[in-house]
Structure formats: structure tokens, C-alpha cells
Structure 1
């Protein structure tokens, strides 16, 4: 679906009109193209007094080919940076927050379009004192505000690195830094990401971080699922694309395009988990990554909703994930180092009128991540979710015009996201190098004003 307003704004006449009338100004976002450099310019790397992360982060970025600039050497007022990265882990009380101002204030106008801001800290729950926890929690307000202030496609994120994850740094952090700095994260902003001590294995080739991996994608015939299959295959995975028999032709087309395999299966069938497990065991012997993308909507206000609409949405969007996880885990088909990624929604965070069934199911997905990820971590398996906002698909094309326009504009990017934006985020969480990222719910919503 084409966003005609965004296309008009990026024309000469459109830019003049937007500036004159103060209309929403959707920027042209920098998205990933294979072969692109990680960032299109130098990165300014700063650190608070006593910060523990700047050194390993600097080593990881240097190894990735990034040109780093020290703030002490950034004396050229005309210098422009592709990213500002700041280690705030050394801030131990509220007075130390002044160091954030001293770093970001002089550079607020120095970022290139689609620039990146990353702040690194310590999870408040792991801090040594209430004052330190207070200061570290304050970092969320900084990054979310920067994401709304800087404009021009700039994104801002907070990455909490657990102290028990230090032993794995920079390997445990590198995949997250690469994702957040690159064009893969174009529609991800205002997020808080936690990196722990899970298993993280750097790939031989960062352009193909899923080489040798078997990945299952449910709901793969169209929309976000089809984009997922393409991105994961591009990154080197052997993709098992699954969808209902009624979508068989579209599913086969996607599988043939990417050189993957197609499985036609109704996930709500009583024997579906067993049949799926047997297929994966016989064809591949395992599944390294399970992406629960299949989902449906059956919208009605609660007072007008029949029981079938409620039951079908909960069953497809939530219960089927639980059943599949149970069987695959019981049979040992997801090995240590495996990853599970579920698709939630900002409707599961903020709610949505006429979607009580859908919002309930998507909030349940978040509950699944919260409750199951600590259990799976003991088995060396990560579990995360993504929560898309307004994404340009055939489903959102059916939304009435005014509501559709509100969904597009009510975020820091002033535009809807693309299926590839969700796919890239799931791709990052699927990398073996991201094994230390678990228990996260990452919104892909352009920093939506709803559920932010």
C-alpha cells in the first residue's frame, strides 16, 4: 500500500507546503540494503565517569569497521555524525545525570538524517543502591524524548546490559549494536532492550548471520510473514514456511522464491503440533528458530462479539503458540542456542477499541515472553517478542481513511512502517549472535504515541 501523502511531502512542492503550513513531515528512512556499510559516517562514542561498557563497545564497533570519534577530539562545529553512542553505566546518582546533558547538548544538531542514538546502562534492578537505580531508570526518559525531538528519521534506544553479561561483552552486545546502528532498525525507536548472559555466537559472515540455521515461520504466505521468509533466507537461513491450506498457492510461491520449503497446516487442528514436530524431525532433525507470526483479527466491540470470534482469535494468536512450543520443547527439537520469537502488537500494550479479543491475545503473547523466557534461559534458549504498530499491509489498507491516516502520523516518524521493518527486527532476534537478548518485547512502531 502506498502512502501518497509521504510521497507528496518528499517532492519539491510538497516540502514547501509542509514547511509553510506546519504539516506532518515524514522523513525518508534509511533502510538496509545488502552491501551497505553499517553506518554512513563516523560515530561519536562517549562515556560517563566510571562507565564499564565504552571499552568493549569501542572494540566491537572498530572490528565492525566503524570510524569512532572521541568527544575530546570533536572540536569541529561543522562535524556530522551517523550516530551518538554513550555509556551511562557509570552514573550512580541523580547529580551524575548532568553528564548526559554535557554529551548530548552540543551534538543535538550534529546527527545526519536517519542518525542513531544509543545509550547504554545497567538494569535498575541490578544497581547497588537506590540512588544508582533511580539514575539508571532516568535514562528511559532521556532516550524516549530524544527519539521524539531530533526528527529527520533519527532513532534513539536504551540498552541495559546486565552485569552478569559482562563476560560475554563484546560478543553479547555486538549483534544489538549492529542492528540498532544499521538501516535494519529504521522503524524502531524509543525502545528499552536488555542484554544478558545468554549464549551468543558471532557469525563467520555478518552479511549472512543465519547461515546453517533452520527457521520455521508461521503465517508465511503473505504480508509480514512473506517479508520475514525473504529476510531470513537472505540472511542465510533454511526457511520452513507454514500457512493454512487455503493459502497454499501463495505459500508455495514464497517458498519457491526463497528456496525454502512449504508446509500447509492449520495450527488450530488438534494434531497440528504433533504433525509439525514430526515434519521438522524427519526433514531437518531440529529447528533453530521458531517465529510465531500467524495471526488473525475478528473485530467487533465486546458487547456485539459472538463467542466464535473470541475463541478463534485467542486460539490462533496465542494458544497455538503455547501448544507448538510445548511439543517442540518436549521432543528436544529446539536445541540449546535456539531462539523463539513471537509477534505481539501495540494493541496488546495500549488496547484498541473493537479489538478486545485481538488485544487480549497479543497481551498474552507478552505474558508468554515474561513467564517462559526465564525458564528457557536455563536451557540456553532465548524468547522474545516484537510488537508492530501501524504497518502498511493489506489489512491496514482496509481501515477507514481518517483512522488510517491517524495511525500513520501518530508516531515519531510520521509514517507507517513496512513489513520489512518487522522482518528485520525479528531477523536480529533470530541471529545466533543475539542469544544474550531474551525476555524483551521490542515495538516496531516508529515510536508510536499510543502505548509508548
Structure 2
């Protein structure tokens, strides 16, 4: 689906009209192309007094070929592809002034589609209430920067556990690489926690899923098809699953990426067992399970029949639980495995006419919250992504004015693309991201809904 307004804005007449009338100004986003440098310019790296993360972050970025600049070496003409600031040394609210001293002079120095990343300590791991207060304040800073800097600049907060310090270089590297690259084009205003779980760096960061068997449900079209393509590009052996009615589209996707296709209705009573038997016999394991299959059956609650309610809950939530249970019971997901579920911004903010859908997607978030600590003991990570307005065939059916509101009501003033969701799930699927667990990452351009 084409966003004609965003295309018009890029023309001379469009730019003049936007400036004169103060209309939304969707920037052209920097998205990932294989072979791209991590960032298209130098990165300014700063640190609070006593920060513990600037040194490992600097080593990671230098090894990745990034040109680093010290704040003392900046001039009025300096321009940066990213600002990275270690705020982990801030232990009192009075010390928050260090954030102003770093970011205030640089507010106009970030290039279009640039990145801002703040590193901190999880508040629940802080040594005192004052330190926890100061670290929690970082969320307001990063979310505001994401709304202020404009021109496609995104801002994120990454909390890095102290327990993970011994493995920080690998644990932090995958997250820094994702957030700095074009892969994170439509991710902004997020809080990501990097823990102490297992993380294995790939031999080649251009193929971070080499040798991995990845199951993608709902793979025949839309986000699922983009997912299969991105995961295969990154080196995965993709098992693409969808219902028999989508068999032709599913086969086209699987053939196009050199993967395999499985036609299966996940609501069938024997579906989890059949899927487990297929994975065991063909691959012996599944390293990554991506629960992408989902449906909508919209009606206001007072007009909704029971079948609409039951089918949405069953496909979007209960089927995930049943599949997880069988695959885990049969030890088909090994230590170091990853599970990624697709939630929705509707599960965070709710949505009129979608009580069934919002309930199912909020349940996915509950699944992450409740099951991730259990799986962490087995060395398996569990995360979710929550897409906002994504340009698909489904959103193309939304009435024009509602569709335009969905596109513009975020910090990037545009809808996301299926590849934006796919890239985020891809990052959560990397073995190098094994220390990231229990997170729900919104892919919504920092939507105003649920903010």
C-alpha cells in the first residue's frame, strides 16, 4: 500500500506546503540494506561520572568500524550519525544535570535518521532509592528526545543488568548493532533490558542466523512473508507455516527463500503434536519459534458473537501456549533457543471494536511476563514485538480518515512497513541476543497511543 501523502511531501511543492501550513512531515527513513555500514557517520560517545558501560560500548563500536568522537573534541559544526551516552553512573537526581550538559549542545547535531541511545542500570537493581529514582528518570528523557529531534531520529533507553557485566560485550553488542543500524528504522521511544543470559556472537554479523532452524507461523503473506525473507537473508533455515487455504502463497514464500512449507491449522487439536513430529523428524530441533499467526474478527463487544471471540483468542494466544508446551516438553527448543511472539499496540492501549483482539494481544504480553523467567532457567529467551500501524492489506481496508490518523499519530509521522517488524523480530532471534529476555518491543514509530 502506497502512502501518497508521504510521497508528496518529498516533492518541492509538498515541502513548501508542509512548511507553510505546519502539516505532518514524514521523513525518509534509513532502512537496512545488506552491506551497509553500521552507521553513515561518526558517533559521539559520552559518559556520566562513574559510568560502567562507556568502555565496553566503545570497544564494541570501535571493533565494528565506527568512528568515535569524544565530547571534548566537538565543534559547532560537528555532525553525528548517533549519540550514545552512558548514564549508568548517575546515582542521584541532582546528577541528572549531566544529561542536559551532554545533550543540550548536541540537539541539532544529529544527522537525519540518526540514533540516540542512552545506557543505564535497571531501577530494580539499583543500590538505593535515590539511584533507582534517577535511573527511572531516563525513560522520560529518551521518549522526549524521540519526539523532539525529528527528521527520522529515534531514541532508545537500554538498561544493562549489573549481573551481566561479565558478558556485557556480547550481550550488549547485538542490541547496539540493531539500534544503530537501519534495521531499527521504525523503533523509537523503547526501553530494552539486557540481562545475564547466554549470548553467542556470530562468525559474520551479516549472517547472524547462520545454521539456525527458525519456525515462522502465519508466513504466507504480510508481516509473516517479510519475516521469512529477512530471517532467510540473515542465514536461517526457515520453516514457513500457514493454514492449508493459504497453501499456494505459502509455497511461493518458502520456494523464494529456499525454505520449507508446512500447511497446518494451528487450532486443530493435534496441531502441536503434528508440528513437533515434523520438526523432530526433519530438523531434530527448532532454534527459534516465531509466533506470528493471527486473525481479526472485529465487532464492538455488545455486537460480537461468541465465535468471533473464541476464534481470535484461540489463534492469537491459546495456540501459542499449546505449541510452546509441546515443543518444550519434548525438548525440541535447545538451551540458547529463542521464542518471539507478535503482540500489538492494541494489547497495550486497547482499541474500539477489537476487544477480542486486544485481549488476545495483551495476553501475549502476559505470556512473556509470566513464562520468560521460567524459560530463562533453561537458557531460552522469550520476547514479544508490538506493532503499531503497519502498511499491509489489512490496514489498507481501514477507512481513509482513520487510516491517515493511524499513519500520522507517531513521532515519525508515517506507517511502518512489514520489514520493520521483521527486522525487529530478526534481532530478537539472533543467538547474540540471548541475553535479552522478557521484553516487549513496540514497532510503532513511537505511537501516541498507549505512550
SS of 1:44 mapped into structure 2: strand
Shift of residue 278 of structure 1?
0.1
Question: How far apart, CA to CA, are the structure 2 residues paired with 1:441 and 1:323?
Answer: 21
Q: Deviations over 1:152-197 (max 9, x none)?
A: 0000000000010111011100000000000000000000000000
Question: How far apart, CA to CA, are the structure 1 residues paired with 2:359 and 2:11?
Answer: 41
Query: Normalising to structure 2: TM-score of the pair?
Result: 1.00
Question: How far apart, CA to CA, are the structure 2 residues paired with 1:225 and 1:11?
Answer: 32
Unaligned runs of 5+ in 1: none
Shift of residue 79 of structure 1?
1.0
Question: How far apart, CA to CA, are the structure 1 residues paired with 2:287 and 2:116?
Answer: 31
SS of 1:449 mapped into structure 2: coil
Shift of residue 74 of structure 1?
1.3
Does residue 10 of structure 1 match 2:17? no
Shift of residue 330 of structure 1?
0.2
Q: Deviations over 1:89-132 (max 9, x none)?
A: 00000000000000000000000000000000000000000000
Shift of residue 287 of structure 1?
0.1
Does residue 438 of structure 1 match 2:430? no
Question: How far apart, CA to CA, are the structure 2 residues paired with 1:395 and 1:195?
Answer: 34
Shift of residue 72 of structure 1?
1.1
Question: How far apart, CA to CA, are the structure 2 residues paired with 1:119 and 1:161?
Answer: 10
Q: Deviations over 1:18-64 (max 9, x none)?
A: 00010000000000000000000000000000000000000011111
Question: How far apart, CA to CA, are the structure 1 residues paired with 2:15 and 2:245?
Answer: 45
Question: How far apart, CA to CA, are the structure 2 residues paired with 1:242 and 1:236?
Answer: 18
Q: Deviations over 1:218-241 (max 9, x none)?
A: 000000000000000000000000
- RMSD of aligned residue pairs (Cα, Å): 0.3
Q: Deviations over 1:215-262 (max 9, x none)?
A: 000000000000000000000000000000000000000000000000
Matching residue of 1:48: 48
SS of 1:169 mapped into structure 2: helix
Q: Deviations over 1:344-392 (max 9, x none)?
A: 0000000000000000000000000000000000000000000000000
Runs of 4+ in 1 over 4 A off after TM superposition: none
Question: How far apart, CA to CA, are the structure 1 residues paired with 2:172 and 2:258?
Answer: 31
Matching residue of 2:32: 32
SS of 2:267 mapped into structure 1: coil
Query: Normalising to structure 1: TM-score of the pair?
Result: 1.00
Q: Deviations over 1:389-422 (max 9, x none)?
A: 0000000000000000000000000000000000
Matching residue of 1:286: 285
SS of 2:40 mapped into structure 1: coil
Matching residue of 1:96: 95
SS of 2:262 mapped into structure 1: strand
SS of 2:137 mapped into structure 1: helix
SS of 2:100 mapped into structure 1: helix
Shift of residue 73 of structure 1?
1.3
Question: How far apart, CA to CA, are the structure 2 residues paired with 1:64 and 1:242?
Answer: 35
SS of 2:115 mapped into structure 1: strand
